[in-house]
Amino acid sequence: MPINENRVPERRMRSVTMVQKLVEVRSDMLSLYSELAERKPYHDVGDDFPEVLADFCASLIDYTANAHFQLYRYFAEKKERRQRIIDVADKIYPRIVDITQSILDFNDKYDSDQQRQNLCDLEKDLSVLGEALAERIELEDNLIDVLSSSGK
């Protein structure tokens, strides 16, 4: 979701930069998610599959950390002054926290070489994770929309 930088006042560039970084990291993660999903069934995935799964887990954590430490911390530190944006952030943040926990749970389950060898639940776990990511992205996009439209 690109933001036209020429239309954004200089004082708002920090939030624009945070959003652009979030979307970039999110796109990378979704690309790896798609690569994993294309490899079903997971009982005959090839020798490089544990590496692809490890890359996905790392990307998933990068995305989650980027959103938390960049965008949501920005609001937690009360750096945003526009009430409309604060209201949206306050509304979505509790659900973002819940989804973050499910992301961390997935990562904990598949974050080691030994755990990546046991793939019997991976299809179900990726499906559940995909639903959670879709909801999180929708919530983030609501915030991005209000950020990009506020002040115009």
Whether the link from the prior residue into 94 is cis, omega within 30° of 0, is: no
pLDDT of residue 9: 56
CATH no. of 12-149: 1.20.120.1370
The 3-state DSSP class for residue 132 equals: helix
User: Cα 139 vs. chain centroid, distance in angstroms?
Assistant: 10
pLDDT digits (tens, 9 = 90+) for 72-84: 777 777 777 888 8
- C-alpha dihedral, 92 to 97 to 102 to 108, nearest 10°: 150
Please name which of 62, 58, 72 lies closest in space to residue 112, comparing C-alpha atoms: 58
Each domain of the chain, given as residue ranges in start order, spans 12-149
Q: What is the pLDDT of residue 111?
A: 85
Entry pTM: 0.83
